[in-house]
Amino acid sequence: MTEALAETERVLRELEPAVERLLERHLATAREWFPHQYVPWSAARDYDGPLDGTAWSPEQTALPQAVQDVLVVNLLTEDNLPSYHFEIATRFGRDGAWGTWVHRWTAEEDRHASVLRAYVHARRVVDPIALENLRMRHVGTGYHSGATTPLHALAYVTVQELATRQAHRNAGTACGDQVGEQLMARIAADENLHMLFYRDLFADALALYPGAALAALADVLEHFEMPGAMIPGFRRRAARIAASGIYNLDVHLEHVVAPLVRALKVTSLAGLGAVGEQAQERLGAHVEQLAERGPELGNCSSAWRP
| Binding-site residue positions for Fe cation | 78, 109, 112, 161, 191, 194
Least distance CB 155 / Fe ion (angstroms): 15
Of the ranges 56-64, 111-119, 226-234, 287-295, which one interacts with Fe ion (CB under 5 A)? 111-119
Output 60 or 100, the one with its CB closest to Fe ion: 100
Q: How far is CA 230 from CA 58, 121, 138, 173, in A?
A: 25, 23, 7, 25
Q: How far is CA 25 from CA 20, 30, 80, in A?
A: 9, 9, 27
Q: Phi-psi region for residue 239, left (φ > 0), alpha (ψ -120 to 50) or beta? A: alpha
By CB under 5 A, tell whether 117 contacts Fe ion.
no
By CB under 5 A, tell whether 177 contacts Fe ion.
no
* Distance in angstroms (rounded) separating the CA atoms of residues 54 and 228: 30
Judged by CB under 5 A, the chain residues 15 through 74 that form the site for Fe ion are none
By CB under 5 A, tell whether 109 contacts Fe ion.
yes
Q: Which residue among 69, 127, 191, 204 contacts Fe ion (CB under 5 A)?
A: 191
Closest CA to 304 of 233, 251, 232, 243: 251
* Distance in angstroms (rounded) separating the CA atoms of residues 108 and 278: 37
Of the ranges 22-30, 83-91, 105-113, 171-179, which one interacts with Fe ion (CB under 5 A)? 105-113
By CB under 5 A, tell whether 112 contacts Fe ion.
yes
* Distance in angstroms (rounded) separating the CA atoms of residues 284 and 257: 11
Identify whether the C-beta of residue 107 lies closer than 8 Å to the C-beta of residue 196. no
Q: Which residue among 91, 124, 135, 194 contacts Fe ion (CB under 5 A)?
A: 194
Of the ranges 107-115, 139-147, 169-177, 278-286, which one interacts with Fe ion (CB under 5 A)? 107-115
Least distance CB 113 / Fe ion (angstroms): 8
Residues of this chain that bind Fe ion (CB under 5 A): 78, 109, 112, 161, 191, 194
